Structure 1
Amino acid sequence: MKYLVLVSHGDFAEGLKTSLAMFAGDKIDQVIAVGLKNGTSADDFAEKFKAALSPLTAEDSLVLLADIVGGSPLTTALNVLGEMGRLESTTVLGGMNLPMALTAVVMKDVMEGEAFASSVLSEAKTALQEFKTSSDDDDEEDDI
């Protein structure tokens, strides 16, 4: 099975998993979320991450999404995955947001490799945009 693993600073990963359940509840058992809490060491996070992955089998593969590329949660997770011999069966993407995670959880079983990564990253980037509103005063001026 392919699992979606979310890592972040604070509670972002857990909160994102909660939000994913609203959209892809049938796949939420394939999502693992681990956050590096304030005041927790990287070693403690590593142990928590290992424990979260302990139910997985050697045949399982991973899609790892992290909040910040180069951040402690991602680098620690990569070190743990390296020690476990799981890096080759893991796709790693950073800068996660809800559209990215939703695309990843939905597409992880139907796409592979570069096509998968491109699709997920494209959705993440497309979701980033300014939302402009107009006031009621602007509407009245347009009617004149």
Structure 2
Amino acid sequence: MRYCILVSHGTFAPGLHNALGMMAGAGREDILSTSLLDGMDVDTFRENFTELVKGIAAEDEILLFADIIGGSPLTNAVSVLEEKGLLPHTVAMGGMSLPLVLGAAFADADTPLAQTAEEIMADARDQIKVFDLGGDTEDDI
């Protein structure tokens, strides 16, 4: 199975998980999330993350999404995955967004993991743009 795991500071990951559920189906067992809440120590986050991934097997694949590269949620999630021997089939990405995780949720599980990561990142980048409001001057806004 291929899992999408969302981690973040604050409630970003669970909130994004909720929004993703509205579009890709709520209650999917292949989409998981947890977060490092304000005031939570890293050991508690690691315990929560360890519990979250306990059912993932060594042959499963993981797309791990985080709010920022180098943040405590991502670095600790990677550390737990390494301890469990799950890193060989994991791709970790920062800059988590709804277009990025939506692409992952609908990606073909038969496509190689690295290729999937490249494709969904390219698609998500294409979603970052200024929305044309249709006005010719600032006075029209």
User: TM-score, normalised to structure 2's length?
Assistant: 0.89
C-alpha distance in 1 between matches for 2:87 and 2:41: 23
Query: Which residue of structure 1 aligns with residue 128 of structure 2?
Result: 128
C-alpha distance in 2 between matches for 1:91 and 1:43: 23
Q: Which letter maps to 2:57? A: T
C-alpha displacement of 1:78: 0.6
C-alpha displacement of 1:57: 2.8
Query: Which residue of structure 1 aligns with residue 33 of structure 2?
Result: 33
Of 11-20 and 24-33, the range deviating more from structure 2: 24-33
Query: Which residue of structure 2 aligns with residue 8 of structure 1?
Result: 8
Count of aligned pairs between the two proteins? 139
C-alpha distance in 2 between matches for 1:7 and 1:138: 40
Runs of 4+ in structure 1 displaced over 4 angstroms? none
> Are 1:88 and 2:61 matched, yes or no?
no
C-alpha distance in 2 between matches for 1:33 and 1:120: 19
1:11–1:108 CA distance, 2 compared to 1 (3 A): farther
Query: Which residue of structure 2 aligns with residue 48 of structure 1?
Result: 48
C-alpha displacement of 1:29: 2.1
User: TM-score, normalised to structure 1's length?
Assistant: 0.87
C-alpha distance in 1 between matches for 2:51 and 2:114: 29
Query: SS at the partner of 1:28?
Result: coil
TM-superposition CA deviations, 1:103-124 (whole Å, max 9, x none): 0111151321332111111122
Name stretches of at least 5 consecutive residues in structure 2 with no aligned partner: none
C-alpha distance in 2 between matches for 1:77 and 1:64: 9
C-alpha distance in 2 between matches for 1:27 and 1:108: 19
C-alpha displacement of 1:63: 1.0
1:60–1:114 CA distance, 2 compared to 1 (3 A): closer
C-alpha distance in 2 between matches for 1:33 and 1:108: 21
Query: SS at the partner of 1:74?
Result: helix
The structure with the largest alpha-carbon Rg is: 1
1:26–1:108 CA distance, 2 compared to 1 (3 A): farther
Identity %: 38
C-alpha distance in 1 between matches for 2:43 and 2:79: 11
Of 37-46 and 110-119, the range deviating more from structure 2: 110-119
Query: Which residue of structure 2 aligns with residue 142 of structure 1?
Result: none
Query: SS at the partner of 1:114?
Result: helix
C-alpha distance in 1 between matches for 2:101 and 2:122: 12
